[in-house]
A = this chain, B = another copy of it.
Amino acid sequence: MPESRTRRRGQDLLDAVYAAALDEAAASGPGRLTMDAIAKRAATARTTLYRRWSDPLDLLLDALAAHHPVEQPTPGADDLRGDLIASLRLMVDWGFSPAGRAVMALLADPARDPAVVTALFERVFDRRGGTFTQTVLRHYADRGAIDPARLTPVVLDIGEAMVAKRIMDTGTDPGDDYLAAVVDQAILPAAGVPHRDT
């Protein structure tokens, strides 16, 4: 007999619903997210969803929050450039995940609800300590390789900004060449690290 006789409950069901919500958001865009579609994709009844969430956005926020925290950059011993590139690679990978795409679309929505954005930052972003390149830059500043005074909010955000815009513009994976160019031509000069000609 098929598992159709099995009935999911609790965490199992939650996981299935969250996965369905993220997939659906990635496929249709958060703006067109619908209880109906999530229910169908999760193979559950719409009524089950309404018992827990009031609308698709509420559900999506829970799904994003429940998503395991993103992998953190782990700066090595003495390779600032390489660690920066690696941290941008982590960001790219996240940006192409269903969760990443959903977040981008949520932030770019002209009709976005400020409360939703607040919830997004509190529940998803602030849980992570800092951004991708920020972790690396602070690490090397602590070790004296970078002048801490140069690490302003603007400088700490250069890598993330450039990668985000690149993803939005082309919709494709930037590739390591581009990430290296961002590090060499934008981040390192701004951080005051002398450019190393190869």
The answer, yes or no, to whether A111 is at the interface (CB within 8 Å) is: yes
Copies of this protein chain in the complex: 2
| A164-190 near B? 1/0 per residue, CB < 8 Å | 111011010000001001100110011
Complex interface: chain B residues within 8 A of A1 (CB): none
Of A25, A101, A155, A168, chain B has the most CB atoms within 10 Å of the CB of A168
Complex interface: chain B residues within 8 A of A27 (CB): 110-111
The answer, yes or no, to whether A157 is at the interface (CB within 8 Å) is: yes
The answer, yes or no, to whether A108 is at the interface (CB within 8 Å) is: yes
Those 5 A-B pairs whose CB atoms lie nearest each other, nearest first: A31-B31, A108-B108, A101-B110, A161-B165, A29-B111
Binding site for B on A (CB under 8 A): 25-32, 98, 101-102, 104-105, 107-112, 114, 117, 150, 152, 154-155, 157-158, 160-162, 164-166, 168-169, 171, 178, 181-182, 185-186, 189-190, 192
